[in-house]
Chain A
Amino acid sequence: MVSCKRAKGSRPRRWGPRLVASGLVLLVGAASAAAQGVRVTGVTTSQYISIRPIVPDSIPAAEVPGTGELRRAADGTPVSCRAGDTYCRFYRSADRASTVPIIQDIDVNAWGFGQGVRFHAQLRGRHAFGSADGLWPRADDAFDALAVYLELDRDRFRLRGGRQWRASGLGFYNFDGASVLVRPIRGLSVDLYGGRGLTRGLNESRTGGALEAIEPLAPDDAAYLLGVEARWRPAPGAALGAVYQREIRTDRAGLYSERFALDGRAALSRATLTGSLQVDVALEEVNEALLRADAPLGRGLGASVEVRRYRPFFELWTIWGAFSPVGHREVLAGVNWRRGDLDLDLRGGWRQYDETGKGLSFAPLRDDGWRIMAAGAWRATPDWLFEAGYRADIGFGAARSEGDVGARRELGESGYVAFRALAFQRLYEFRVDDGVVLGAGADAGFRIGPELTVAGSLYAYRHRDGTGANAVDWTQLRGALRLLWAVGRDPGLRGVGGVR
């Protein structure tokens, strides 16, 4: 089995990241020492994952009855027998592999350098134990800096320098650079940002080696990220946001992306309208267009309707955009009823894919899909909450049907215990994979102190294979443990409590 840790021939990444990590730690430490106040919050997460991977295997073709490419072996296992091949091939479950990844997130905030000056760092460390430490993605990446920047925030403007991330209508982007946000008038902000772009979802440069380990045709050049974003609130309850962004190869030989997004929201007397638009400017394609309306109907009822058009976006360093992917249209509707201690939610949708111009007219693949979801929660007493839900998603590629029930007991203010049972079934359009997975387990959380909380869960799953011919065995044990802690001074925010 190929390990995703490092591809052969790639650059060793042993010292570079460590040096960077050490430098960042020193930077963080120095900033903290110089600060008037520091607050560090941390989340330590560990999980136990146990999975049986699948591995290719073969059986002599002579031992498989029947003709044609797809057959079933004597034990019912679906096998693929190509013409002229002496062996028929199939996939089977391998030995169980387990891993315990540990992820440490640290958030550091330091202030007191001057009015509106703040240092912020968001760091992540990882390590995995177990026989298959590669089972958890990126577990080999010991250190990540999600954000490290210095900020000057005043009424009319805000300056940031360092590694920072942005959440906008285009999604989530990281970069090493600077941003200037100006608030010329109340309700309007314009943000100019730019720097060395990082890979989305990776927090590393495209040429840092992480992509190369997985994708042989990884980008050969880093990228500059440049963008401008404006947000405007013309009236109470109304908001508009627009962003234009480019990712340019550092050698200026081409673009990695050129995108535009427009988002808006308007609260009418009773309804709320939300809309978004994402455009791939480079290829002149609309990636997403969405319009959604939410409205209360009275007596605890609320309804929502959404129409959406989606087409995937691919960065220009890949060949995928050249394959002319099509999109799909979707309509979703939902009703929610909330009264007293009862909360019911019902939603459904239907989607239709565009014409691809490909495929077999006499053996077409499915080009539509639908889904429904029903969920309910009932607070029987101040200490007991009961929940149940069902979801079915039937459509192109894969389908699932799943249900779960649960109960939660509050143990005063300092703890809780919850129990859940679930069952789900998955079906694939392109692969024989059946069976029902049954699971049950428990969650618990306790506040040990004002700055320390621990929570965990343990679930067991059993895969019941109806046909006896599946390659995959999803019987497994899953566990998680989280520790939330904080040290340092209160930064003086008015929000001593509440949501973050």
Chain B
Amino acid sequence: MMKRWRWNGPAGSPARGRRGWAALAGCAVVAAVALLAVDAGIFGGSGEPGRFGGSGLAFAREPVEATFPHAKHARLFPTCQGCHTGIERGDAEAHYPTPALCANCHDGVERHTVDWQGPTRGPSNLRFSHPEHIRESGRRGEPVSCMGCHGEDGAESRWMRVAAAQPENCLSCHAHRAEAHLAASNRCSVCHLPVTEAKALSAGRIAQFPKPEWHESPDFLLEHGRGLGTAVLAARGESAPAPNCAVCHARQSCERCHLDASARPAIMALAPDDRVALLVRDLPPEYPVPPSHERADWLSRHGGVAAADVQRCSTCHAASSCTSCHIGSGGQQVIASLPEARPDGPSGVLLRALPGRLRIGSAAEPGAMRGMAPGSSRGRAPERRDPVHTPDSLRIAALGPEAVSLPERGRHATERVVRVHPAGFDRSHGAAAASDQMRCTGCHEQRTFCAECHTGASRPGFHPANFVVRHAAEAYSRDLNCTSCHNTETFCRACHIETGRGSSGPLQAGYHNAQPLWILQHAQAARQNLETCTSCHVQRDCMQCHSQVGGRGISPHGPGFDADRAASKNAVVCFRCHYGGPPR
């Protein structure tokens, strides 16, 4: 019950005047004390938020002063243990004072009552023991003070200037000399439980785990398997810390991207966790492009690299990634050792070959030409069933429908378009195919592939539209060797004869009507491009003049003609023009 000050004495009495000055002086003293108290923080102030530490637990980030104004009580409590009696002996129930303890003073008489219930103890993944730290520090002769971790300024803090313990406090003692709490060289497992063991944490809380800055490194995705932190320390000549991944990651974290997760001991060493699975379920996988893949010769080199160490490929590539091109005999053993895409997991990076030549009308297959733009480096859930592979436009029309079916795909598919052959390869592949056919058969089925063009006559799509009208210039220039696909006599000449351009029977005038002296000029034309002449003329046409047998005997031989050599190879031909065989 609150005592009341009473005003004693009638008005105007001397006693009443003396009491008035005394009262005024008393108020001044009280005011002064109050000012001093405020300065001392007893009545609270702008206290900094802090945490209460406890064995094995860390509270949510609640401001310390918001729950208890330590600075206000600085003169009342000479030690921390006065209220935090359970710290030294590890009694979690006695970590904080009870409401009854506070009521000893805050009884409503001496002090106002307070509603003290203690801080909320949230779940944590901290691995910490006060008794252990106290014992160990004592054993080392370096007694640790509470203010060392819980003071605003560490051990130098003013009494009862309390703040939440920071991870940097731990780093100051623990001997891994990490630069910062989340540094790559830190040993997270020293202070933190693996996420799979911090079962009290919710998925939402796990999602709030801070991401170390070094995870944002451009090389992180490519190097994390070898331990980016390890590389950092190795560069400094230091030993690698214990694995840290398990503090924040469960097995599903890796299975989100790794096709070969089940074959990786480091991944299988991580325990699975449903909460982590929930968090990563809808996250698309990320597949950075290694620098090696961007080399100009990667297409020719990747086979050897894969054969030497297929594990380098199996993280990102399933077997179906290779078989988008490799349906021949090449590389099948290596491909067989790659994992298959899981229906409930990522498909990895699917490669799609870009047609060697983009020409409308030459590709008679649906789905061709797709994916001309480079594929995204980030996986995405397919909005619709993705288009089929885009084989080279040269072949697809004759390949059969099975050549364009898509392999089975997982939930997330990352596609990347690969231009296997350079532009114009359809017209310049001869030497490459002749020398490196083993490489061709890695992707192309030799038993039918070459014949689809080189047997001629039935393979539209290689030549541009209406080539029958346009082909004269190309035939003269011999940009390509027509005889690699067509027989001159039965294909070229037959068509020319049928359409009236070929010579049949006696030579007639009037066809070469652009050259007035054609009879004298045709020799130059014939020497420069005899193949074109033979596409219209039979041998007898020329023998009318250039043969001694029934002709005019005009020699067609040039200065470099070796008659003896020609006769030694096939004298029968000589008899066509020479009586009695080749002249001596």
- Judge whether B510 and A91 touch: CB under 8 Å: yes
B462 to chain A, nearest CB (A): 13
Contact size range, B: 35 or more
Report the separation of the CA atoms of residues A340 and B433 in the bound assembly, to the nearest whole angstrom.
Answer: 29
- Judge whether A400 and B297 touch: CB under 8 Å: no
**Counting CB contacts under 8 A, is B29 at the interface?**
no
Closest B residue to A328 by beta carbon equals B528
- Judge whether B438 and A400 touch: CB under 8 Å: no
Partner-contacting stretch, out of A15-23, A29-37, A449-457: A449-457
- Judge whether A214 and B494 touch: CB under 8 Å: yes
Among B322, B454, B457, the one with the most A-chain Cβ atoms within 10 Å of its Cβ is B457
Taking A283-B565, A474-B469 as contacts, is the C-beta distance between A169 and B456 under 8 angstroms?
A: no
Please name all residues of chain B whose beta carbon is closer than 8 Å to the beta carbon of A78 when the two chains form the complex: 513-514
- Judge whether A165 and B404 touch: CB under 8 Å: no
Closest B residue to A324 by beta carbon equals B558
Closest A residue to B513 by beta carbon equals A78
Please name all residues of chain A whose beta carbon is closer than 8 Å to the beta carbon of B297 when the two chains form the complex: 237, 267-270, 272
The 7 closest A-B pairs by CB, nearest first: A495-B327, A324-B558, A359-B524, A201-B487, A254-B570, A397-B476, A239-B436
Report the separation of the CA atoms of residues A58 and B489 in the bound assembly, to the nearest whole angstrom.
Answer: 28
Please name all residues of chain A whose beta carbon is closer than 8 Å to the beta carbon of B450 when the two chains form the complex: 165, 167, 172
Taking A258-B569, A323-B530 as contacts, is the C-beta distance between A231 and B454 under 8 angstroms?
A: no
B406 to chain A, nearest CB (A): 6
A168 to chain B, nearest CB (A): 5
Report the separation of the CA atoms of residues A41 and B387 in the bound assembly, to the nearest whole angstrom.
Answer: 22
Taking A171-B484, A407-B360 as contacts, is the C-beta distance between A499 and B514 under 8 angstroms?
A: no
Partner of A500, one of B296, B448, B526: B448
Please name all residues of chain B whose beta carbon is closer than 8 Å to the beta carbon of A49 when the two chains form the complex: 468
Taking A360-B520, A365-B525 as contacts, is the C-beta distance between A387 and B473 under 8 angstroms?
A: no
**Counting CB contacts under 8 A, is B347 at the interface?**
no
**Counting CB contacts under 8 A, is B102 at the interface?**
no
**Counting CB contacts under 8 A, is B127 at the interface?**
no
Please name all residues of chain A whose beta carbon is closer than 8 Å to the beta carbon of B419 when the two chains form the complex: 338
**Counting CB contacts under 8 A, is A236 at the interface?**
yes
B297 to chain A, nearest CB (A): 4
A119 to chain B, nearest CB (A): 11
A-B contact pairs, 27 of them (CB 8 A): A2-B497, A43-B398, A45-B460, A69-B516, A126-B458, A137-B498, A147-B451, A201-B455, A214-B497, A231-B435, A237-B301, A243-B434, A249-B572, A267-B300, A268-B297, A271-B296, A323-B526, A343-B358, A357-B527, A359-B520, A379-B372, A398-B475, A410-B366, A422-B466, A478-B466, A497-B327, A500-B327
- Judge whether B576 and A497 touch: CB under 8 Å: no
Which residues of A in the span 433-450 have a Cβ within 8 Å of any Cβ on B? Answer: 437, 439, 441, 443, 445-447, 449-450
B398 to chain A, nearest CB (A): 5
Report the separation of the CA atoms of residues A336 and B424 in the bound assembly, to the nearest whole angstrom.
Answer: 10
**Counting CB contacts under 8 A, is B538 at the interface?**
yes
Please name all residues of chain B whose beta carbon is closer than 8 Å to the beta carbon of A226 when the two chains form the complex: none
Taking A216-B539, A256-B570, A319-B573 as contacts, is the C-beta distance between A134 and B498 under 8 angstroms?
A: yes
Closest A residue to B516 by beta carbon equals A70
Please name all residues of chain B whose beta carbon is closer than 8 Å to the beta carbon of A94 when the two chains form the complex: 500
Taking A138-B491, A316-B569, A353-B528 as contacts, is the C-beta distance between A340 and B472 under 8 angstroms?
A: no
**Counting CB contacts under 8 A, is A48 at the interface?**
no
**Counting CB contacts under 8 A, is A127 at the interface?**
no
**Counting CB contacts under 8 A, is B481 at the interface?**
yes
**Counting CB contacts under 8 A, is A411 at the interface?**
yes
- Judge whether B528 and A294 touch: CB under 8 Å: no
Closest A residue to B436 by beta carbon equals A239
**Counting CB contacts under 8 A, is A107 at the interface?**
yes
Report the separation of the CA atoms of residues A339 and B373 in the bound assembly, to the nearest whole angstrom.
Answer: 8
Taking A53-B500, A316-B573 as contacts, is the C-beta distance between A451 and B509 under 8 angstroms?
A: no
Taking A201-B486, A214-B538, A451-B401 as contacts, is the C-beta distance between A413 and B387 under 8 angstroms?
A: yes
Report the separation of the CA atoms of residues A53 and B320 in the bound assembly, to the nearest whole angstrom.
Answer: 52
Report the separation of the CA atoms of residues A324 and B487 in the bound assembly, to the nearest whole angstrom.
Answer: 21
- Judge whether A319 and B542 touch: CB under 8 Å: yes
Report the separation of the CA atoms of residues A497 and B465 in the bound assembly, to the nearest whole angstrom.
Answer: 28
Taking A51-B499, A395-B473 as contacts, is the C-beta distance between A340 and B359 under 8 angstroms?
A: no
Residue-wise, chain A 264-282 has the 8 Å CB interface mask toward B (1 for contact) of 1101111110111000001
Report the separation of the CA atoms of residues A211 and B434 in the bound assembly, to the nearest whole angstrom.
Answer: 28
Report the separation of the CA atoms of residues A328 and B405 in the bound assembly, to the nearest whole angstrom.
Answer: 45
Report the separation of the CA atoms of residues A421 and B90 in the bound assembly, to the nearest whole angstrom.
Answer: 87
- Judge whether A292 and B402 touch: CB under 8 Å: no
Please name all residues of chain A whose beta carbon is closer than 8 Å to the beta carbon of B384 when the two chains form the complex: 412
**Counting CB contacts under 8 A, is B553 at the interface?**
no
- Judge whether A321 and B500 touch: CB under 8 Å: no
**Counting CB contacts under 8 A, is B332 at the interface?**
yes
- Judge whether B403 and A68 touch: CB under 8 Å: no
Given contacts A239-B432, A451-B401, 9 further A-B contacts (CB under 8 A): A4-B498, A341-B373, A358-B523, A410-B367, A430-B514, A455-B397, A486-B402, A490-B402, A497-B323
Report the separation of the CA atoms of residues A415 and B566 in the bound assembly, to the nearest whole angstrom.
Answer: 57
Please name all residues of chain A whose beta carbon is closer than 8 Å to the beta carbon of B557 when the two chains form the complex: 322-324
Residue-wise, chain A 130-172 has the 8 Å CB interface mask toward B (1 for contact) of 0010111110000000110000000000000000010111011
**Total A-B pairs in contact (CB under 8 Å)?**
595
Partner of A385, one of B372, B517, B565: B372
- Judge whether B512 and A431 touch: CB under 8 Å: yes
Size of chain A's interface in residues, with CB distance under 8 A? 208
Residue-wise, chain B 347-362 has the 8 Å CB interface mask toward A (1 for contact) of 0000001000011110
Residue-wise, chain A 296-308 has the 8 Å CB interface mask toward B (1 for contact) of 1000001010100
**Counting CB contacts under 8 A, is B407 at the interface?**
yes
**Counting CB contacts under 8 A, is A86 at the interface?**
no
Report the separation of the CA atoms of residues A331 and B431 in the bound assembly, to the nearest whole angstrom.
Answer: 17
**Counting CB contacts under 8 A, is B392 at the interface?**
yes
- Judge whether A484 and B570 touch: CB under 8 Å: no
Please name all residues of chain A whose beta carbon is closer than 8 Å to the beta carbon of B473 when the two chains form the complex: 393, 395, 397-400, 426
Please name all residues of chain A whose beta carbon is closer than 8 Å to the beta carbon of B512 when the two chains form the complex: 430-431
- Judge whether B460 and A47 touch: CB under 8 Å: yes
- Judge whether B498 and A132 touch: CB under 8 Å: yes
Please name all residues of chain A whose beta carbon is closer than 8 Å to the beta carbon of B435 when the two chains form the complex: 169, 231, 239-241, 263-265, 276
Please name all residues of chain B whose beta carbon is closer than 8 Å to the beta carbon of A486 when the two chains form the complex: 400-402
Residue-wise, chain A 374-413 has the 8 Å CB interface mask toward B (1 for contact) of 0001010010010100000101111110101011101111
**Counting CB contacts under 8 A, is B143 at the interface?**
no
- Judge whether B432 and A171 touch: CB under 8 Å: no
Please name all residues of chain A whose beta carbon is closer than 8 Å to the beta carbon of B481 when the two chains form the complex: 171, 288
Taking A284-B565, A356-B528, A500-B395 as contacts, is the C-beta distance between A237 and B300 under 8 angstroms?
A: yes
**Counting CB contacts under 8 A, is A320 at the interface?**
yes
Taking A1-B498, A147-B447, A312-B478 as contacts, is the C-beta distance between A497 and B405 under 8 angstroms?
A: yes
Which residues of B in the span 364-416 have a Cβ within 8 Å of any Cβ on A? Answer: 364-370, 372-374, 384-389, 391-392, 395-407
